[in-house]
Structure 1
Amino acid sequence: MNRWKPLIVLGTGQFLMVLDASVMNVSISQLVEDFDTEVTAIQGVITLYTLVMAAFMLTGGKIGDMYGRRRTFIVGLVVYAVGSGLTAIAPELWVLALGWSVIEGLGAALVLPALAALVAGAYRGRDRAVAYGVIGGLAGAGIAVGPLLGGWVTTYLTWRLVFAGEVVLVVAMLCLIGWIPREEPPVERPRLDLVAVVLSAAGLALVVLAVLQSSSWGWLAPRNAPFTIFGFSPTLFVITLGGVLLYLFARWEHIREAEGRTTLVHLGLFRISGLRSGLVTLFNQNTILLGLFFVIPLYLQVVLGMDAFETGVRLLPVSATMLVAAMSGSLLLRIASPRTIVRIGFAVLLASILWLLATIDPELNDVSFALAMAVMGLGMGMLASQLGNVVQSSVGAADRSEAGGLQYTAQNLGSSLGTALIGAILIGALAASLGSAIAEDPRISESVAHQAGTRIEAGITFVPSDGVADALAEAGVPPDEAAAVVEDYEDAQITGLKVAVLAAGGIALVGLLCTGALPAHVRGKQESGEDEDED
C-alpha cells in the first residue's frame, strides 16, 4: 500500500485540475445571473482559462526542471488554491476572471507537467503503467463527474462552494505531500529563456483564441467579428500570426540549441517517434472527448430540456467505464502492446460514435444512450490507460518535465480546439440545414423565408425551440408560419448534432491512422517488470 501513497496525492491533483473546468461549464446560466452579465462574457472567462493553461504549460515544465518537480508541484497547488479562494468570493466578473482564468490557470500550468514527471519518477515498469492508467481514468472521471457535481451544487446550493471545497482539498493534499518522494536537487539550475516563453505563449494563445472564436467571428466571411482584414474575418489571419510566432519560437530554440545555450524545449525530443506519436494521439483523444462533451450536453439540455443535474446523471456511464478501462491498462499490457490497445480503443470509440448517432432523436432512448455512453467510456479509457505512460517512457529522467509540459500542452490544445471545431461544425450544419429547409418549405412565405435567411447569415445560435418561437412572435410572423419555422429549426438541430458527432468520428479515424509509431512490444511478456527507458 505504501508504494501507492504518492499516486493518491498525484491522482487527486489530476482529478482536481480536470474537474474544475467541467464544473464551470454547467454553471454558466447561474454565473450570468449572479454577475448580471451575458453568456458571451462567461464564455470569455472560460476561454481565458484554457488560453492561460495552453500558453504556459511548456514554461511550467521548464520551471520544474529549474527548481525541482516536487517543489514546483507544491507551489502550483498553492497558487491554484489562491485562485480557487478568490473565485469563491468573487464579487465582480473581473475578479472571477482573475481568480479562475489567470491565477488557477497559472497554477495548473505548474502542477500538471510536474505531476506527469513525478508519476514517472515514483513508479517503474508495470507499476508505472498502472499509475498512468489511474491518472488517465481520474482525468476522464473528472470530466464526466464535473457536470453531475457542478449541476447538483449549482442547482441546490451555490457554485461558490465548489471552489471553496477545492481550497480545502488542496490543503489536505499539502498535508500529505510527504507521501511524494523527495528528489535530488538539480546539479546545475538552467535559466529560463524569456524570449522563448513569450514567443511560445503568444503563438499558442493566438491559435487557440482564433479557433475558439471562429464560431462567432466566422472563418472567411465576417459575422460577429470585432474587426475585419480586407473584408475577411480575422480568424485565419490570427491563426497565421500565431503560426508565425511558433515558427520563430522553433527557430529561436534551434539557434540557442546550436550555441549550447539553455532552451525552453529540447527540439531533439521531437525526433523520438514514440513521443511524437503519443503527443499526436493525446491531441486527437482530447479533441474528440471535449468536442463530444460539448455536443452531448447541448443535446440533453437544449433539445431535450434537461437541467444540469439530469445531464450529469446521463453522463455517468462514461465516467464509470472510462475509469475501469483506464485502470486496467497494466493488465491489458500483458496480452497486447500499447499500439494495439490504443488502436482497439479508437475502434471502440468509433463504434460508440456510430451508436450515438442512432440515439440522437427528438425523444431520448435512455437505455440505448446509456449503453452508447458506456462503450464510449471504454474506448476513451483504453486510450487514457496508455498514452501518459507512452509519452513519459519515451524519454529519460532528465527530460520528463519537458515531456510533461508537451503532454499537457497537447491535451489542452486538443481540448480547446475540440470544443471550437466541433462547435463551429455544429453551428455551420445547423445554419445550412435550417436555411435549406426554410427555403424548400411550402408553408413559409417568401418574405418570411427571406427574413429568416438574413438572420441565419448574420449568425445563428443553438437555443431551445421555445426561444425561436418567442423571437418569431415578437417579429410578428404569422402563427402558422412561425410553427413551420420552429419545426424546421428542431429538425435542423438534430441534423447539426449528428453532423458534429460524425465529425468527431472522423477525427477518431484520423487518430487511428496516426498510431503507427506507438510502442509495438508486449511489455507484459518481458521477464523483468522494468520499462525500457533509462532513469
Structure 2
Amino acid sequence: MSKWWPVVILGCAQFVMVLDSTVMNVSISKVVSDLHTTVAAMQTAITFYTLTMAAVMLLGAKLGDVWGRRRTLVIGAIVYSIGSLMTGLSPNFVTLFLGWSIIEGLGAVLVIPAIAALVADNYSGRQRVTAFAVIGAVSGAAVAAGPLIGGYLTTYLSWRYVFIGETVIMIAVLLFARVIADSSLPARLRIDVWSVLSSAAGLVLIVFGMLQSKTWGWVVPKVPLTIGGVTVAPFGLSPVPFLIAAGIALLWLFLRRQRGLAAVGRPPLLDVTMFSIARLRSGLSVLGAQYAVTAGLFFMVPVYLQMTLGLDALTTGIRVFPLSIALIVFSIVGTVLTRFWSPRRIVRIGQLVLVASILALLPSVSTDLKAVPFGIGMFFAGAALGLLASQLGNVNMSSVSEERSSEVGGLQGVFQNLGSSFGTALIGSILIASLGSSFAGAVSASTLPDSVKSTVLQQTQNGVAIVPTQAVPRIAEQAGLSGAEGDTLRSLYTHAQLGSLQTALFALAVIAALALFFSRSIPSSVLGAAPRSGPEADGASPEPAADKRRR
C-alpha cells in the first residue's frame, strides 16, 4: 500500500484544484448577501480566478523546472492555503477577491503542472496508467461533488467552510509531501521577464475589456469611465475596444519576442512553432470553446435558479448535478468510442449535441421551473461536454513528440482557463447588459405613472443590478413607491431577467456552433487503425515532417 501514498496525496491536491472551480457558482446569492456585494462583482471574481491561472500558467510550468517539481508543489500548496484561508475568513469582497481570485489562482498554477509531473515521476508502466486513472477519477468526482458540497455547506452551514476545508486538505498535502519522490533536478533556466509581463498583461486587458463592456459599452459609452474626476472616452468612444486592441497588440509583441528569443538560442516562455501544427491549433481552439461554454453555463444557471426562482444553494447544486454526472459518464463513453470512431466524429457529435442541448434549455427558462425538460437539457449538455473532454487532451498531446508534451500541457492549461474567463466575462456581460436594456424598455412601455417611470429610470441609468426577484418590492418601497407599484416592477423585472437569461443562453449556443469551424483538423481516422493515404487523412500536421528534419 505504501507505493500508492504518493498518488493519494496528489489526488487530494487534485480534488481541491477541481472542486474550487465549481463550488463558488452555486453559492453566488449567499456570498452576495453575506459580503454586501453584487452579482456583477462576483462575475468579476469568478472571471479573474481563471484569468489569473491563464495569465501565468506558462510561468508556473517553467518554475517547476527551475525549482524542482516537489518543491514547486510545496510552494504552491502554501500559497494556495493562504488564499483559501483569506477567502474563508473574508469580511468583504475585496478580501475575497484578493484571496480567491489572485492568491489561490497563483498557487494553482504551481500545483496543477506539478501534480502531473510527479505522478509520472513516481510510477511507471501499468502503475503509471493506474495512477493517472486515479487522478482522472478524482477530477470527475470533484466535478460531480462540487455543486453538491458547496450547496449543502452554503445552505446548512456557510460557504466559508468550503474554503476552510480546502485549507485543511492542502495543509495535509504539505505535511505528507515527503512521501512523494522527485527525481528531477532544478534546472538553470533564464525566464524572460518581458515575456511573462507581456503575455499576462495582454490576456488581462482583453478579458477585462470584455468584462467591463456591460458597464462601459462595446463602442458607444453607456456609463463614462471617470478617473480623478476626468471622463475617459477616447474619440468619444468606450474604452473597451481600446483595451482589447492593446491586449491583442501585447500578445502580438509576446509572440514576436518568443521567435526572437529562439533565434538567438535563449529559451522562450512558449515555443510558438507549435501553433503551426494544424491538429494542435484545432484541438486547443475547441478546448477553449468547450471551457467557455462550461463556464458560461455554470455562471448563468445558478443566477437563474437563485435570483429568479429563489432556490437555495443545495437545490441549485441538485439541479446542476445532471450536467456533472453526465460529463463524467460520457467522458468514459467517449473513451470507449475511440475504438470504433475517429476523434473528429466524436468531437463533432459532441459539438452538435451541445448546441442542441443549449437551445433545448431556452424554453425551460421561465417563471416556473420545468424540472424534467431542464434536467434533460442539462444532462445532454453534460454528455456533450464529456464527449469533448474524452478526446481533446489526447488530440493535443498526440500532436507533438513526447519531448514537447509538457509545453502542450501548459498550453492546454492556458486555453482551459482563458476559455473559462472568456465565457464568464462575455456571457455575464451580455446577461447584465441585456437585463438593463430590457428592464428600461419594459418600464417605459408600462402603465406605471410618469413620475414612477422617471424615478425608476433615473435610479437605473447606470445599469440594472441582478438581484433576487423577491427583493424588488422591498427595494421599490425603500425608493418611496407604493406596494402595487412595487409588485408591478417585480413582474417587469422578472420578465426582463428571464429575457436576458435567454439572450445569454442563445449567445452560448452561437459560441458552441462557431466551435464547429475549429474542429476541421481534428484527426479523422480511428486511433490505432492504419491511416488512409493523403496528408488530410488524419488531420495531418507538419509535426512529423518537422521531426524528420530535426533528426
Aligned residue identity for 2:15: F
Q: Is the 8 A contact 1:58 1:405 kept in 2?
A: yes
Q: CA deviation at 1:36?
A: 6.3
Q: CA deviation at 1:326?
A: 1.3
Alignment partners' CA distance in 2, 1:513 and 1:133: 31
Q: Is the 8 A contact 2:25 2:302 kept in 1?
A: no
- Aligned partner of 1:464 in structure 2 is 468
Aligned residue identity for 1:223: V
- For 1:116-515, list aligned pairs within 5 A: 139=139, 142-143=142-143, 145-173=145-173, 182-183=182-183, 185=185, 189-220=188-219, 221-223=221-223, 225-227=225-227, 228-230=232-234, 231-441=236-446, 443-477=447-481, 479-515=483-519
Alignment partners' CA distance in 2, 1:135 and 1:343: 27
- Aligned partner of 2:536 in structure 1 is none
Residues 444 and 460 from structure 1, CA distance in 2 versus in 1: closer, same or farther, beyond 3 angstroms? Answer: same
Alignment partners' CA distance in 1, 2:482 and 2:256: 62
Alignment partners' CA distance in 1, 2:498 and 2:150: 26
Cα offsets for 1:319-369 (capped at 9, x unmatched) = 111111113332121011221111111111122112211211111122222
Which stretch of structure 1 is more off in the superposition, 107-116 or 443-452? 443-452
Q: Is the 8 A contact 1:133 1:329 kept in 2?
A: no
Which stretch of structure 1 is more off in the superposition, 350-359 or 456-465? 456-465
Residues 438 and 422 from structure 1, CA distance in 2 versus in 1: closer, same or farther, beyond 3 angstroms? Answer: same
Q: CA deviation at 1:385?
A: 1.2
Alignment partners' CA distance in 2, 1:387 and 1:176: 33
Aligned residue identity for 1:331: V
Alignment partners' CA distance in 2, 1:97 and 1:42: 9
Q: Is the 8 A contact 1:55 1:201 kept in 2?
A: yes
Residues 66 and 453 from structure 1, CA distance in 2 versus in 1: closer, same or farther, beyond 3 angstroms? Answer: same
- For 1:96-107, list aligned pairs within 5 A: 96-107=96-107
Residues 40 and 291 from structure 1, CA distance in 2 versus in 1: closer, same or farther, beyond 3 angstroms? Answer: closer
Q: CA deviation at 1:139?
A: 4.9
SS of the aligned residue for 1:233 comes to coil
Q: CA deviation at 1:289?
A: 0.6
Structure 1: give runs of 5+ residues left out of the alignment: none
Q: CA deviation at 1:31?
A: 4.6
Q: CA deviation at 1:522?
A: 0.9
Alignment partners' CA distance in 2, 1:353 and 1:290: 13
Residues 81 and 473 from structure 1, CA distance in 2 versus in 1: closer, same or farther, beyond 3 angstroms? Answer: closer
SS of the aligned residue for 2:340 comes to coil
SS of the aligned residue for 2:520 comes to coil
Q: Is the 8 A contact 1:112 1:404 kept in 2?
A: no
Residues 521 and 52 from structure 1, CA distance in 2 versus in 1: closer, same or farther, beyond 3 angstroms? Answer: same
Q: CA deviation at 1:509?
A: 0.4
Cα offsets for 1:102-122 (capped at 9, x unmatched) = 332111111223445567888
Alignment partners' CA distance in 1, 2:127 and 2:359: 35
SS of the aligned residue for 1:515 comes to helix
Question: For the aligned residues, what is the CA RMSD?
Answer: 3.5
Q: CA deviation at 1:283?
A: 0.8
Q: Is the 8 A contact 1:117 1:392 kept in 2?
A: no
SS of the aligned residue for 1:361 comes to coil
Alignment partners' CA distance in 2, 1:305 and 1:522: 48
Alignment partners' CA distance in 2, 1:113 and 1:326: 22
Which stretch of structure 1 is more off in the superposition, 102-111 or 59-68? 59-68
Cα offsets for 1:457-485 (capped at 9, x unmatched) = 42112222333323333334455554433
Alignment partners' CA distance in 1, 2:73 and 2:399: 22
Q: CA deviation at 1:138?
A: 5.5
Aligned residue identity for 1:145: A
SS of the aligned residue for 1:514 comes to helix
Alignment partners' CA distance in 2, 1:126 and 1:371: 38
Q: Is the 8 A contact 1:297 1:311 kept in 2?
A: yes
Alignment partners' CA distance in 1, 2:123 and 2:350: 24
- 2:80 matches 1:80: yes
Alignment partners' CA distance in 2, 1:340 and 1:126: 29
Alignment partners' CA distance in 1, 2:270 and 2:494: 49
Alignment partners' CA distance in 1, 2:121 and 2:351: 29
Q: Is the 8 A contact 1:81 1:104 kept in 2?
A: yes
Q: CA deviation at 1:450?
A: 4.4
Which stretch of structure 1 is more off in the superposition, 363-372 or 261-270? 363-372
Aligned residue identity for 1:195: W
Identity of aligned residues (%): 46
SS of the aligned residue for 1:379 comes to helix
Q: CA deviation at 1:12?
A: 4.5
Residues 254 and 429 from structure 1, CA distance in 2 versus in 1: closer, same or farther, beyond 3 angstroms? Answer: same
Q: Is the 8 A contact 1:116 1:404 kept in 2?
A: no
SS of the aligned residue for 1:394 comes to coil
Q: Is the 8 A contact 1:23 1:146 kept in 2?
A: yes
Residues 142 and 232 from structure 1, CA distance in 2 versus in 1: closer, same or farther, beyond 3 angstroms? Answer: farther
Cα offsets for 1:294-335 (capped at 9, x unmatched) = 111111111111011111111111111111111333212101
SS of the aligned residue for 1:444 comes to coil
Residues 218 and 134 from structure 1, CA distance in 2 versus in 1: closer, same or farther, beyond 3 angstroms? Answer: farther
